[in-house]
Amino acid sequence: MSEVRVLLVEDEDDLRMLIGEALRMTGYRVSTASDGPEAVTAMERERFDVVVSDVSMPNGMSGIELSDHAARLQPKARVILASGFARAQLPALPGNVIFLPKPYRIPQLLALLPERAAPGEEALPA
């Protein structure tokens, strides 16, 4: 059984550290990014099973735009977008996206994550 690789994209440092550590403690391999451009760079270098991102982010790229990059760069990855806005208040989300309302609790996020990576799939070389 291989580890599930999660890319956590969160612009709030404390929240990124807290969620990242909680995921690591439950057995996930976690990489983090503070915004969309940093996340795209990570996706170009490594394969992820899940990309978790906030919808509203700084530096010119929303989580919705990031999900388009994820669909192109990581077509097998599950994409989870979190937002404090109601889903009805957001633009249409791409079909590959799971919506997670904020604030959420770690068990709610864990329920959306796969328990293990698909067999035979390894990370891309750096």
Q: b/e for 18-31, b at 16 or more Cβ within 10 A?
A: ebbebbeeeebbbb
pLDDT tens digits, residue range 83-99? Answer: 988 887 888 787 779 99
Query: What pLDDT was estimated at residue 126?
Result: 36
Bridge partner residues of 52 (DSSP): 8, 80
Query: What are the residues whose beta carbons fall under 8 Å from the beta carbon of 74, sequence distance 6 or more?
Result: 43, 47, 48, 51
Q: Which residue has tokens 């170009």?
A: 44
Q: Is the pLDDT of residue 124 over 70?
A: no
- pTM metric for this prediction: 0.87
Q: What is the mean pLDDT of the chain?
A: 88
pLDDT tens digits, residue range 1-23? Answer: 468 999 999 999 999 999 999 99
- E runs forming strands in 14-116: 29-33, 50-54, 78-83, 97-101
CATH topology for 5-112? Rossmann fold (3.40.50)
Pairwise CA distance, residues 18 & 66, whole Å: 22
Q: Of 17, 121, 11, which is closest to residue 56 (Cα–Cα)?
A: 11
pLDDT tens digits, residue range 107-116? Answer: 999 999 987 7
Q: Residue ranges of the domains in the chain?
A: 5-112
